[in-house]
Amino acid sequence: MTSPSASFPGPERAGGDVAALRELELRNKGCVACRLRAGCARVVVADGDPRASLVIVGEGPGSEEDLDGRPFVGPAGQLLDRILEAAGVRREEAYLTNIVKCRAPHHRSPRVDEVQTCTRLWLEPQLARLRPRVILALGNTAAQFLLGTEQGVTRIRGQWFRSRHVDAEGGTYEALLMPMLHPAYLLRNPARALGGPKSLTWRDIREAAAVLRGEKEPAAVRGLPEAVPGGLFGPGEA
């Protein structure tokens, strides 16, 4: 299941935009705004191309990322690299980051106030400067925050949604957003059966890569998914 790698040119961006993003990343590394910073080795901000048209957002760094200083470098990140490569996307052609930039203790999910603080100070300004064409939201925390929904990612994965963000000039831009299962979930559920998590993820990444290449348009692009009871960051799926 491989395809040749293709380049995905990002939106035209002035050098000042990239410089502003790098300056934001540098300031982010010194953040002590929430309780997570006290329990981790370093702030894990981002990795990849600031001019990329693809942005990948996960939940937060794990222990390997906390030591390395880059997102998605542990077992789940290595699996993500293989998933991208199988669809013809190189890691270097994307910009990778997380909802929260510091490792949460005991492998717990970030709390609502931690998410609100980190996204207000860092993720939202990142997206304002990045202005990607496509966003992949990996796992519950990323999908629920970016879409403002309570639904678990297994309910909404593989669908395209409109995702509107403020840009650095004070206007707005619209990206295509697809929720996907987090690679960590695939490691916990390794079955390759048709219709299983790995099969669904293969379908989703091929769809996303085809849209990035301009080979197809999304069949349907939805507005915000309907909310369901359970709390925005309650117990979830993947």
Block means of pLDDT (10 residues each) for the chain, 238 residues, are: 44 71 98 97 97 97 97 97 97 98 96 97 97 97 96 97 91 96 96 92 97 92 62 41
- The model's pTM is 0.89
pLDDT of residue 235: 36
Query: Looking at residue 154, what is its pLDDT?
Result: 96
* Positive or negative torsion for Cα 85, 180, 184, 126: positive
pLDDT at site 234 = 38
Sheet bearing 54-58, strands edge to edge: 46-48, 94-98, 54-58, 134-138, 172-180, 160-166, 221-222
CA distance 176 to 172: 14
State residue 238's pLDDT score: 54
At 227 the three-state DSSP class reads coil
Q: What is the pLDDT at residue 59?
A: 98
**Other CB atoms within 10 Å distance of the CB of residue 221:** 14
- Residue 204 is predicted with a pLDDT of 98
Indicate the SS3 state at residue 36.
Answer: helix
Residue indicated by tokens 């222990």: 63
Residue-level pLDDT at 87: 97
**How many helices (H) does the chain have, and how many strands (E)?**
9, 7
**Residue 217 contacts by C-beta under 8 Å, 6 or more apart in sequence?**
211
C-alpha 7/C-alpha 9 separation (Å) is: 6
Q: Are 139 and 185 in contact (CB under 8 A)?
A: yes
Tell me, what's the pLDDT at 16?
65
What does the pLDDT read at residue 186? Answer: 97
